């Protein structure tokens, strides 16, 4: 009997060690999902299909990784704000084009869309340190452009993109005018405990209880709760109260943390907003909220002429099914963490 118990204990211990080793070795594959199951890595559409003016931009991150991005111009003569757009986790920037088309139309802005390393046509493999370098390369590129108002660069990040954007804003307090976060988590450490409850006592963010014994082996913690406390720029928090992936309480915690140190914070929630459709379900109120925020914290220079009327085609309905279809696939597959 004793021998049988020993064997059971040793077997369980061995399985735990193997499981931990696999978690450490494969964690980037668990956290980052550049390719959705059943879909190719290639872009399904390009901006030209939505009648958007754009250029392909190739960048080099500080460590030499070659990155692809799109610069989408509102119109040749419009010098409105430029949104540096950081996407959610799963898929690539093409899957966000319908959202960006509407963003450009409603906010009269340019948009710069970065493909993280390992995503879309960018080279390399994703990691927190690598994606942080990618984001900096994107901002550095925008600051060198002569065809935009570099004093009106605003970061927009949804979910994982919010974590990326918060780090970039913190690191560049004098180069970014404002930060917009939508349905972003407090940290990957906290999300691990939600997605995998048995890890809750071993992994957790700064607000979590427990010994957090495994925090030291997590290479992509994305501790947004700690980062927002150091962001100096105005921050707009957009929270979908029906978020099925990131608990809405995370957004409230981020706001509460930020407002302790930053008086220029705004929190707006949307009753029917889910993780990836808040920009749809929020309707006119969603876009009007962002518009008012930009008017206050990234105002238009008075010398701008009247030619900044929208030239963005308002015929994107045929493409809505593409975005919503991808969103539905994310919800119905077993890659919940991939949607962050």
- φ/ψ region of 113 (left if φ > 0, alpha if ψ in -120 to 50, else beta) reads beta
The tally of domains found in the chain comes to: 1
Instruction: Say if 286 falls within a structural domain.
Output: yes
Q: Could you tell me if 245 and 252 are in contact, meaning their C-beta atoms sit under 8 angstroms apart? A: no
Instruction: Classify residue 288: in a domain, yes or no.
Output: yes
Per-residue pLDDT, 208: 62
Q: Is residue 330 part of a domain?
A: no
**Phi, psi of 236, deg, nearest 5:** -110, 125
277 domain-assigned: yes
Confidence of residue 270 (pLDDT cuts 50, 70, 90): very high
Query: What is the rounded average pLDDT for all residues in the chain?
Result: 85
**Quick one: pLDDT at residue 207?**
62
Domain that holds residue 205: 31-298
On the question of pLDDT at 6 being above 60, the answer is no
Beta bridge partners of 156: 85, 180
Q: How do residues 203-231 score in pLDDT, each as one tens digit?
A: 766 666 666 767 777 878 999 999 999 99
The span from the CA of 128 to the CA of 118, in Å, is 12
Evaluate whether residue 223 is within a structural domain. Answer: yes
In this prediction, residue 96 carries a pLDDT of 96
Query: Would residue 312 count as lying in a domain?
Result: no
Backbone angles phi, psi at 269, to 5 degrees: -115, 160
93 in a domain, yes or no?
A: yes
For residue 28, the model assigns a pLDDT of 74
Helix, strand, coil % in the chain, rounded to nearest 5 = 45, 15, 40
Q: What is the CATH number of the domain that holds 287?
A: 3.40.50.1820
| pLDDT > 90? residue 131 | yes
Tell me which residues are annotated as active site: 159, 243, 275
CA distances from 249 to 71, 83, 255, 271 (A): 34, 26, 10, 13
Does 335 score more than 60 pLDDT? Answer: no
Residue-wise pLDDT tens digits, 31-71: 898 998 888 889 999 999 999 999 999 999 999 999 999 99
pLDDT in the model for residue 313: 61
Residue 165 lies inside a defined structural domain of this protein: yes
Q: Look up the pTM and report it.
A: 0.86
Local structure of 317: helix, strand or coil: helix
pLDDT value at 25 more than 90: no
């Amino acid at each position: 009997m004793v021998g049988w118990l020993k064997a059971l204990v040793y077997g369980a211990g061995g399985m735990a060690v193997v499981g931990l080793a696999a978690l450490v070795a494969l964690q980037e594959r668990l956290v980052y999902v550049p390719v959705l199951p059943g879909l190719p890595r290639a872009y399904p559409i390009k901006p030209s299909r939505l009648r958007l003016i754009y250029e392909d931009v190739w960048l080099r991150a500080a460590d030499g990784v070659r990155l692809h991005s799109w610069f989408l111009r509102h119109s040749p003569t419009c010098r409105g704000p430029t949104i540096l757009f950081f996407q959610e986790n799963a898929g690539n920037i093409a899957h966000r084009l319908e959202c960006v088309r509407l963003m450009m139309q409603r906010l009269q802005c340019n948009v710069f869309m970065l493909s993280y390393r390992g995503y879309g046509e960018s080279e390399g493999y994703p990691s927190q340190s690598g994606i942080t370098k990618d984001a900096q390369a994107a901002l550095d590129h925008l600051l060198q452009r002569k065809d935009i108002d570099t004093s009106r660069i605003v970061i927009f990040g949804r979910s994982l993109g919010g974590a990326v954007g918060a780090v970039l804003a913190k690191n560049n307090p004098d180069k970014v005018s404002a930060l917009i976060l939508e349905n972003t988590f407090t940290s990957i450490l906290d999300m691990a405990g939600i997605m995998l409850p048995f890890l809750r006592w071993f992994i957790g963010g700064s607000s979590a209880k427990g010994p957090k014994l495994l925090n030291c082996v997590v290479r992509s913690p994305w501790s947004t709760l700690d980062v927002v406390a150091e962001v100096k720029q105005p921050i707009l928090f957009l929270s979908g109260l029906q978020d099925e992936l990131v608990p809405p309480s995370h957004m409230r915690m981020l706001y509460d943390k930020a407002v302790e140190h930053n008086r220029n914070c705004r929190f707006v929630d949307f009753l029917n907003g889910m993780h990836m459709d808040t920009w749809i379900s929020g309707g006119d109120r969603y876009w009007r909220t962002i518009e008012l925020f930009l008017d206050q914290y990234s105002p238009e220079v008075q010398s701008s002429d009247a030619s900044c009327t929208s030239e963005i085609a308002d015929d994107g309905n045929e493409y809505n099914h593409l975005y919503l279809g991808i969103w539905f696939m994310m919800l119905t597959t077993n890659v919940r963490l991939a949607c962050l």
